[in-house]
Amino acid sequence: MMGDRPSPPRASKWSDLNNDTMSRAMSSAATTSPSVDKVDGFSRKSVRKAKQKRSQSSSQFRSQGKPIELTPLPLLKDVPAPEQPELFLKKLQQCCTVFDFMDTLSDLKMKEYKRSTLNELVDYVTVSRGYLTEQAYPEVVKMVSHNIFRTLPPSDSNEFDPEEDEPTLEASWPHLQLVYEFFIRFLESQEFQPSIAKKYIDQKFVLQLLELFDSEDPRERDYLKTVLHRIYGKFLGLRAFIRKQINNIFLRFVYETEHFNGVAELLEILGSIINGFALPLKAEHKQFLVKVLIPLHTVRSLSLFHAQLAYCIVQFLEKDPTLTEPVIRGLLKFWPKTCSQKEVMFLGELEEILDVIEPTQFVKIQEPLFKQISRCVSSPHFQVAERALYYWNNEYIMSLIEENSSVILPIMFASLYRISKEHWNPAIVALVYNVLKAFMEMNSTLFDELTATYKSDRNYRSSLKALITRGLTAEKYDIFRLVLFLKNLMELCHHFRGILFWTSA
């Protein structure tokens, strides 16, 4: 019977480390050697990039004068099932110890022992049942907090370019990855009870979690994205708080710092959250769209998260089509003036919006929208002009243009006609000819009128330019205008007389 078991063997069992685990740790320690980066001493940029590729450690590590020693524990599978929950708690407590990975030669055996223990815990929470007692919740949260919550190393925003430079990788990732993996399995466990966990996974925990999204390591941000999404799904009481804090992060990013590494990941989470919003949308959700998401288009690093941002915008419009007008007017307000790359992104996002727009909403914004498209078509940057002209390859957009050709054609005609004669890029000229042909097939009568008007105006402008060049007086200029007016009037009468002749015939 268990009550008759002598105490010395029990104490020995808890203190002996599994031989296989220790041998793996010693083998790993023997083969581990520090890595050396080769740096080009003649290039400052090369030096910076080489430094960026190195791993960095956070300021969480305590300076230890002596090596860290962990008391060896047996494997969970080697003890009877009734004793496993207690051993599980002891292993969680051991894993609260954090090692300094910047010192590649220190505590090698204990680092490997912790790594193998974390691996064991991941497997245990995945397949075991009955381990998740009420006493386990605080220990799990404590272990996770000790490992992941830390002060992130500062980054030099003046030198670091996230689009070109390599990100700084977390030196302690061999342990951190397993901690994140364990926590995700814990949250996804069938035995997980939010009613108990909410005592420990609270607003303070979520706030610290959100701060970690500024980590430069993309691997960590990817795990954080999954963790936050699971917490949002399981803790109803934290949902409003999470949305509010994400709102604050974005506002600080737009109006104060313009630096936050995890914007793309937070937007990806938001895309899923927006998709689950109930209808009708709350006023706070609409305000978030107009006051936070739209201004995100103004930051210089838009390319790093534009795909996720555009997805969120489209999700809102699919939920509530009446938001289309303020969204498009907001985009037009923040339209980039000097960055062609951003213009191409804006045009791509606009096409995604037009793909889901309702005809009644299209009528409200067609004039300001196509005035901007006309300016883009006229852009000397061929990628901007090309992206705008590709709208006419979209069948749904073409149907909207055809229904409203009487409004859109006069806005677009002058730019298209001028480009067909003057643009430097033959590919753009070919696209413009296709667009003009499409307009002519849509509304040939209006097309002919606009052509005649454009040619007349062009002749008038060239004649006026010649007169100004020759320095004619104001009186002679007025006489010239009168003669030109009479000439145009005679041509118009001749045109109508021809129409009456063919009608009577």
Q: How far is CA 77 from CA 94, 95, 123, 339, 381, in A?
A: 18, 18, 11, 61, 66
Looking at residue 63, its pLDDT comes to: 43
User: Percentage of the chain with pLDDT > 70?
Assistant: 76
Centre a 10 Å sphere on the Cβ of residue 123 and count the other Cβ atoms it contains. 14
**pLDDT tens figures, 445-471:** 999 888 888 776 665 555 555 555 555
Q: How confident is the model at residue 21 (pLDDT cuts 50, 70, 90)?
A: very low
Q: What is the mean pLDDT of the chain?
A: 83
Give the per-residue pLDDT at 138.
97
pLDDT, tens only, 249-307 = 999 999 998 899 999 999 999 999 999 999 999 999 999 999 999 999 999 999 999 99
Tell me how far apart the alpha carbons of residues 347 and 362 are, in angstroms, rounded to a whole number.
16
Identity at 377, one-letter amino acid code: V
**Is pLDDT of 338 > 50?**
yes
In the prediction, which pLDDT does 476 show? 61
Residue 412 pLDDT exceeds 80? yes
Model confidence pLDDT, tens digit, residues 183-195: 999 999 999 999 9
**Mean pLDDT, range 67-81, rounded to an integer:** 87
Q: What is the pLDDT of residue 490?
A: 73
- Omega cis (within 30) before 167: no
20-26-30 Cα angle (round to 5): 145
**pTM higher than 0.85 for the full model?**
no
Residue range 307-322: mean pLDDT, rounded: 97
Q: Can you give the pLDDT at residue 463? A: 54
Helices H / strands E in the chain, number of each: 23, 2
- Kindly provide the b/e burial profile for residues 397-414, where b requires at least 16 CB atoms within 10 angstroms of the residue's own CB: beebbeebbeebbebbbb
User: Token digits for 432?
Assistant: 């413009």
